[in-house]
Amino acid sequence: MTAQFTAEVDQNEFLPEGGRVVDAIVTVTAQGGDLRDASTVLSAAQVILVDTSGSMAMPGTKIAEAKKATAVAIDTLRDGVAFAVVAGTAGAHMIYPGDTRMVPANPQTRAEAKAAVSRLRADGGTAIGRWLDLANYLFAGQQAEVKHAILLTDGQNQHETPTDFQRVLDACEGKFICDSRGVGTDWVATELRKVASTLLGTADGLEDPSELPAAFRAMTEAAMGKSVADVSLRVWTPAGSTIRFVKQVFPQVEDLTTRRVEVSARIGDYPTGAWGAESRDYHISVEVEPDAVGEEVLAARFSLVSGGSVLTEKLVLARWTDDTALSTKINPQVAHYTGQAELASVIQEGLKARDEGDVETATAKLGRAVQLANESGHEGTAKLLARVVDVVDAPTGTVRLKRQVAGVDAELTNVRSTKTVRVKKKQPEEG
């Protein structure tokens, strides 16, 4: 038994006469009682990239917790999963095994690896691209269906040029999945988001080094629980139409539009990585040629495919009507995720303006962010924003920039800006 994929479409299919734009939210859920059963999960390989730059010793709890977390991740690996531990500085060094290869997890290799990790010392610079480059080399020798890296850093990517970093990311794209985490106060949210976005993983910052072991366990468990590899979103659209965008909108916003791989004139694939028992939402927006009132057109056929088989498929329709009560109805899901996507971008734009000293733009953007977070009940983001701005009135988005902001608060707000919440599906009836 493999995972059961199901999908649901939320849209207002009714367009006014001459209307062209069709928006839909597709919720895809992979489930199955045996999804976590060892016999159905995919073969896996994992590389742990631990920042051992000198700053990891300031304070010493960072390197201590990072070692503990790495040990926990090693213990979470299933028997037989190929793994390696890499120490990252201005270069990348094999910690375990001693040479550039991966070894299968078993009681002996786990013990050896943990012993090697315990001897780690913090010393050196930060060049994340070099670490990823070594991970890519290690994975290239593996046949595993899920290739997963964990990247931990505490500082800015100082010891390589942005061009070199980008070149490595491009080389790694599609080769393995990478979850990245920042610890301490000096990591840079945009760098972590870039890694996560390109390598189809997650990015987050940890406020306290003591959260590291739990985070490493969760990332490793999620990777071990993947049961379908190389899943792509496949979108068919009719002749004469244009795809405005395809975005993942839950659990985080990720614009997939430019990642399209043409399958045929009508069909394109968008990579989504590997799936375990999980649920993701997508927002697709298509511009179609208007038809006569009363006519119905298939605006998009939306499916998930893996290895040539269709896991689930849904239709996005367009129907033209002269009934304005129907055509003007706003779909709550579409409205909600349009707001969540705007929330992510106004946070990023607001923080950027703030860094550049553009108080007016920063205040306007972050004010709008507070308003959107408030409207959508996104408490996590609302709380983070309150560390960066003083909220005068949330419903109108009236804010003042805080004079003193801890650097990490701005980075946390930034790295989590793409995290979305779902709309409460069914509002309880009044009375």
Partner 1 sequence: MRSCPEHGAPSSPEHRFCEVCGRNLVTGETVVVPTVSLSSRAGLVCTGCGESGTEPYCDNCGRRRSVGRDHAELDLSAVAAVTDRGRRRPRNEDAVVIARYDGGLVSVVCDGVSTSTRSDAASHGAAEAGVAAILDALTTGADPVEATSLGAHAAAKAARAAAGPEESDTPPSCTYVSGIVTPDAVTVGWIGDSRAYWLGPEPACLTIDDSIAGQLAAGRPAPDTVDPDPSSRALIRWLGADSTDAEPQVVTLGPAGEGRLLLCSDGLYHYLSDPTELTAAATRNQTSPIEVARHLTAVALQGGGHDNIAVAVLSFPALGGSAA
DSSP 267-333: EEEEEEEEE-SEEEEEEEEEE-----TT-EEEEEEEEEEETTEEEEEEEEEEEE-S-HHHHTPPPHH
188: helix, strand or coil: coil
Among 288, 334, 394, 410, binds partner 1 (CB under 8 A): 288
Among 266, 329, 400, 424, binds partner 1 (CB under 8 A): 266
Q: By CB under 8 A, which span of 49-57, 181-189, 234-242, 380-388 interacts with partner 1?
A: 234-242
Under the criterion CB under 8 A, does residue 246 sit at the interface with partner 1? no
Q: By CB under 8 A, which span of 145-153, 216-224, 291-299, 366-374 interacts with partner 1?
A: 291-299
Under the criterion CB under 8 A, does residue 325 sit at the interface with partner 1? no
Q: By CB under 8 A, which span of 56-64, 195-203, 239-247, 388-396 interacts with partner 1?
A: 239-247
Under the criterion CB under 8 A, does residue 356 sit at the interface with partner 1? no
Among 98, 294, 308, 431, binds partner 1 (CB under 8 A): 294
CB 231 within 8 A of CB 304: yes
Tell me how far, at minimum, the Cβ of 426 lies from partner 1, in Å: 15
Ramachandran quadrant class, 308 (left: phi over 0; alpha: psi -120 to 50; beta: rest): left
Q: By CB under 8 A, which span of 104-112, 246-254, 294-302, 376-384 interacts with partner 1?
A: 294-302
- Which residues have C-beta within 8 Å of that of residue 396, sequence separation ≥ 6? 371
CB atoms within 10 A of CB 424: 10
Q: By CB under 8 A, which span of 153-161, 286-294, 352-360, 373-381 interacts with partner 1?
A: 286-294
Under the criterion CB under 8 A, does residue 297 sit at the interface with partner 1? yes
Under the criterion CB under 8 A, does residue 263 sit at the interface with partner 1? no
Distance CA 210, CA 331 (A): 42
Q: Which of 298/421 has CB closer to partner 1?
A: 298
Tell me how far, at minimum, the Cβ of 237 lies from partner 1, in Å: 8
List of E strands, 132-215: 146-153, 177-183, 203-206
Residue with tokens 């010891």: 159
Distance CA 317, CA 342 (A): 25
CB atoms within 10 A of CB 273: 18
Under the criterion CB under 8 A, does residue 291 sit at the interface with partner 1? yes
If we measure between CA atoms, which residue out of 375, 311, 387, 389 comes closest to residue 338? 375
Under the criterion CB under 8 A, does residue 292 sit at the interface with partner 1? yes
The residue ranges that bind partner 1 (CB under 8 A) are: 236-241, 266, 288, 291-292, 294-299, 301, 315, 319
